[in-house]
Amino acid sequence: MSVKEGLIYSEDHEWVKKEGNTAVIGISDFAQEELGDIVFVELPDAGDEFNQNDSFGVLESVKAVSDVFVPVSGKVVEVNEELFDNPELINEDPYGDGWLIKMEMSDESELEELLSAEEYTEFIEEA
């Protein structure tokens, strides 16, 4: 299980990669492994707006249904449509091709409430 350096993490196991004012959001390697084989994704549409910690979609593995939550507030600007046909990308490459959405952040200071890679590693080790 890996925690990628340079990303910011939530306690709900999402990661955020800051690209200017845009947040790329996905789930951590720990989360994909806990879920197991992901076979279905439900994601929002571009333009949808969310407040921090809102559920923005659902990932389903063979066995489980799991909500995903936005770690920051903002507006969805892009959705990873590849996942509709190939949800297994989330298992195979959670920090790369398995990204979920890109958001235009409305309050970048929210990022400060999240965890660094090191803090997230400690968090999952305690769990």
Q: Which residues bind other proteins (CB under 8 A)?
A: 36-37, 39-40, 42, 58, 60-63, 65, 84
Minimum gap (Å) between residue 74 Cβ and other proteins: 23
**Of 42 and 97, CB closest to other proteins:** 42
**Of 82 and 107, CB closest to other proteins:** 82
List Cα–Cα distances, 110 to 33, 39, 63, 93, in angstroms: 27, 31, 33, 26
Minimum gap (Å) between residue 95 Cβ and other proteins: 19
Minimum gap (Å) between residue 42 Cβ and other proteins: 8
Phi, psi dihedral angles at 50 (to 5 degrees): -135, 150
CA–CA dist 120, 114 (Å, integer): 9
Tell me how crowded residue 1 is: count the other CB atoms within 10 A of its CB.
11
CA–CA dist 30, 54 (Å, integer): 21
Minimum gap (Å) between residue 65 Cβ and other proteins: 6
**Of 32 and 72, CB closest to other proteins:** 32
